[in-house]
Amino acid sequence: IGAVAFVIDNVAYVGTGNNNGLNERDWWAFDPARNAWEEKEKFDTDDPITRSYGVGFAIGQRGYVALGDVA
DSSP 8-class letter at 68: S
**Dist. CA 2–CA 50, nearest whole Å:** 11
- Single pTM value for the model: 0.84
Neighbour-count burial of 4, counting CB atoms closer than 10 A to its CB (0-12 exposed, 13-18 middle, 19+ buried): buried
The whole-number pLDDT of residue 43 equals 67
Nearest to 6 by CA among 55, 40, 50, 49: 55
Tell me: the pLDDT tens digits for 21-43? Answer: 888 888 899 999 999 999 998 76
* 41-53 pLDDT, tens digit each: 876 666 666 788 9
Q: Is 51 helix (H, G, I), strand (E, B) or coil?
A: strand
Residue 41: the pLDDT is: 80
